[in-house]
């Protein structure tokens, strides 16, 4: 019965509470304040001449909060475009993000090196945990409407772990740069999610087709998500770059890339959409591709000119993706990509990785000066040539794609087990299956019917 299958009374509490208890135990055993959040350690630094104003809180926290808004409002509302899936879009986004940021703190702490057996936490770990969460939410976009919250939590457990492994290989082993995560966040999240969607392919999904579309107000709610992502993307890409010119330049490059991307998106949307009108799907998604595509090169000396070219290209391929590849994916590749994450995060992420590799390969001491030490420390120290840094970047893209696809494959099969309360094909894209819904009929009548004369009189009084 649908009844017992999708009822969450036991499944969700067990998942949430077991996971949270494990997290709390691990935090109790392993997690400590870092030097900047611990009262005693920080005041030792003060005693050694530091000022409270040097605390990294003041140089990272505003960026963190912008990233936080992107994760919870941006991703959450971007997915409310479905007419009848707003509770789940915002609500499951909220749940898995709140889980993933805790789990990511642990996983990233493990692989990025412990300090005397302990994981140290502070503003940087908070930003990095939000970044990892972003990757999970991208994958969520690919399976939106077709998964139960328990499936999503299980997916998060695995994806966060693999994210941390991949990030470690790319940044620490291979020595690639990827401050805004074109590879580690966007490419990884997109291809992981697409592979999960492939394994979870539902041949009879067209039974829910009438719900897999937007209505007027759901598209407006989605625009809240889009605009917040667009505005704060400069903060996202610059949140963990080196202080000084690096953060400043990264934010500005991203700002220009997004602006150019937006013009390309509007121009192309009118070309490809029905009847020479604009299509909200493009505006909501493709206009953001410029942020994805400078996620790697944004901190480099890409120049505003270069940033705009990248943004323009990203918007172009993203809009084109929405006409062509979405259909191809669904029919030939059997990937039902609800939000079109391939067009927003997948292809622009790969573009961003390539742009990053090329820009790195072209880095010269003449252009970067002593700033080379922040952007490419290994080139600065003479350990590698710029061209080899470009090769490292390219290898990192390949590694990321490999881990994402393989990880998504395995995860997909795990999520296929019939124990998580997934919705049947006939009731996908529907909040009512997991949420108590307010009574629409009565209330709707309230909003629209002509009132009784008595009531009207009172109201108009």
CB 153 within 8 A of CB 305: no
Helix, strand or coil for residue 220? helix
Q: For residue 23, give the nearest of 98, 131, 135, 134 by alpha carbon.
A: 98
Task: Tell me which residue has tokens 């990880």.
Answer: 407
Residues written for the chain: 461
The Cα–Cα gap between 433 and 349 comes to 34
Q: Is 159 in the site for a second copy (CB under 8 A)?
A: no
Which listed range, 157-165, 322-330, 349-357, 419-427, lies at the site for a second copy (CB under 8 A)? 419-427
Instruction: Out of 116, 274, 331, 418, point to the residue binding a second copy (CB under 8 A).
Output: 274
Q: Is 172 in the site for a second copy (CB under 8 A)?
A: no
CB closer to a second copy out of 274 and 332 = 274
Q: Is 204 in the site for a second copy (CB under 8 A)?
A: no
Q: Is 453 in the site for a second copy (CB under 8 A)?
A: no
Q: Is 48 in the site for a second copy (CB under 8 A)?
A: no
* Secondary structure element (H or E) that encloses residue 32, with its range: strand 31-33
Question: Residue 334: which region, alpha, beta or left (left: phi > 0; alpha: psi -120 to 50)?
Answer: left
- Minimum CB separation from a second copy for residue 101, in Å? 6
Q: How many other C-beta atoms can be found within 10 angstroms of the C-beta atom of residue 91? A: 16
Q: Is 361 in the site for a second copy (CB under 8 A)?
A: no
Which listed range, 81-89, 198-206, 330-338, 392-400, lies at the site for a second copy (CB under 8 A)? 81-89
- Minimum CB separation from a second copy for residue 387, in Å? 19
* Secondary structure element (H or E) that encloses residue 212, with its range: none
CB closer to a second copy out of 20 and 383 = 20
Q: Is 122 in the site for a second copy (CB under 8 A)?
A: yes
Cα–Cα separations (whole angstroms), residue 122 to 36, 42, 361, 365, 456: 7, 12, 33, 33, 58
Which listed range, 225-233, 383-391, 398-406, 411-419, lies at the site for a second copy (CB under 8 A)? 225-233
CB closer to a second copy out of 262 and 329 = 262
Which listed range, 56-64, 156-164, 195-203, 324-332, lies at the site for a second copy (CB under 8 A)? 56-64
Question: What is the distance between the terminal CA atoms of the chain, rounded to a whole angstrom?
Answer: 53
Q: Is 252 in the site for a second copy (CB under 8 A)?
A: yes
Instruction: Out of 110, 201, 388, 435, point to the residue binding a second copy (CB under 8 A).
Output: 435
The Cα–Cα gap between 213 and 210 comes to 7
Instruction: Out of 42, 191, 192, 236, point to the residue binding a second copy (CB under 8 A).
Output: 42
Q: Is 229 in the site for a second copy (CB under 8 A)?
A: no
Total interface residues for a second copy by CB under 8 A: 166
Q: Is 220 in the site for a second copy (CB under 8 A)?
A: yes
Q: Is 452 in the site for a second copy (CB under 8 A)?
A: no
Instruction: Out of 140, 188, 232, 322, point to the residue binding a second copy (CB under 8 A).
Output: 232
Helix, strand or coil for residue 426? helix
CB 183 within 8 A of CB 400: yes
**213-230 b/e (C-beta count within 10 Å ≥ 16 → b):** ebeeebbebbbebbbbbb
Q: Is 145 in the site for a second copy (CB under 8 A)?
A: no
The Cα–Cα gap between 293 and 454 comes to 61
């Amino acid at each position: 019965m649908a009844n017992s299958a999708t009822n969450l009374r036991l499944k969700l509490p067990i998942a949430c509470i077991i996971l949270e208890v494990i997290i709390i135990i691990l935090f109790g055993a392993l997690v400590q304040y870092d030097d900047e959040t611990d009262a005693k350690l920080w005041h030792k630094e003060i005693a050694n001449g530091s000022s409270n104003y040097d605390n990294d809180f003041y140089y990272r926290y505003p960026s963190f909060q912008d990233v936080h808004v992107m994760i919870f409002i941006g991703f959450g509302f971007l997915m409310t475009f479905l007419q009848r899936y707003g509770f789940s879009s915002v609500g499951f986004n909220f749940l898995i993000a709140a889980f993933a940021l805790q789990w990511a703190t642990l996983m990233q702490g493990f692989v990025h090196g412990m300090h005397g057996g302990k994981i140290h936490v502070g503003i940087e770990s908070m930003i990095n945990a939000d970044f990892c969460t972003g990757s999970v939410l991208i994958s969520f976009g690919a399976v939106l409407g077709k998964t139960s919250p328990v499936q999503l939590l299980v997916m998060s457990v695995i994806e966060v772990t693999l994210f941390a492994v991949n990030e470690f290989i790319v940044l620490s082993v291979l020595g690639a740069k990827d401050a805004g995560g074109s590879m580690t966040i966007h490419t990884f999240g997109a291809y992981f999610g697409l592979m999960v969607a492939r394994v979870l392919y539902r041949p009879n999904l067209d039974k829910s087709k009438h719900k897999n579309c937007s209505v007027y107000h759901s598209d407006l709610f989605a625009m809240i998500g889009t605009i917040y992502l667009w505005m704060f993307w400069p903060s996202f890409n610059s949140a963990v770059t080196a202080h000084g010119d690096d953060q400043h330049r990264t934010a500005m490059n991203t700002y220009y890339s997004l602006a150019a991307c937006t013009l390309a998106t509007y121009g192309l949307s009118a070309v490809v959409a029905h009847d020479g009108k604009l299509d909200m799907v493009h505006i909501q998604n493709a206009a953001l591709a410029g942020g994805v595509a400078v996620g790697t090169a944004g901190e480099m000396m890409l120049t505003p000119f270069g940033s705009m070219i990248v943004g323009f290209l990203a918007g172009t391929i993203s809009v084109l993706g929405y006409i062509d590849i979405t259909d191809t994916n669904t029919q030939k590749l059997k990937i039902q990509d609800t939000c079109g994450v391939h067009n927003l995060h997948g292809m622009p992420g790969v573009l961003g990785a390539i742009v990053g590799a090329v820009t790195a390969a072209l880095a010269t001491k003449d252009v970067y000066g002593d700033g080379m030490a922040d952007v490419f420390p290994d080139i600065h120290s003479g350990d590698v040539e710029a061209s080899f840094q470009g090769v490292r970047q390219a290898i990192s893209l390949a590694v990321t794609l490999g881990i994402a696809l393989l990880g998504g494959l395995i995860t997909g099969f795990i999520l296929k087990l019939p124990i998580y309360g997934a919705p049947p094909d006939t009731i996908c894209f529907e909040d009512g299956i997991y949420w108590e819904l307010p009574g629409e009929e009565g209330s709707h009548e309230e909003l629209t019917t002509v009132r009784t004369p008595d009531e009207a009189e009172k109201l108009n009084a």
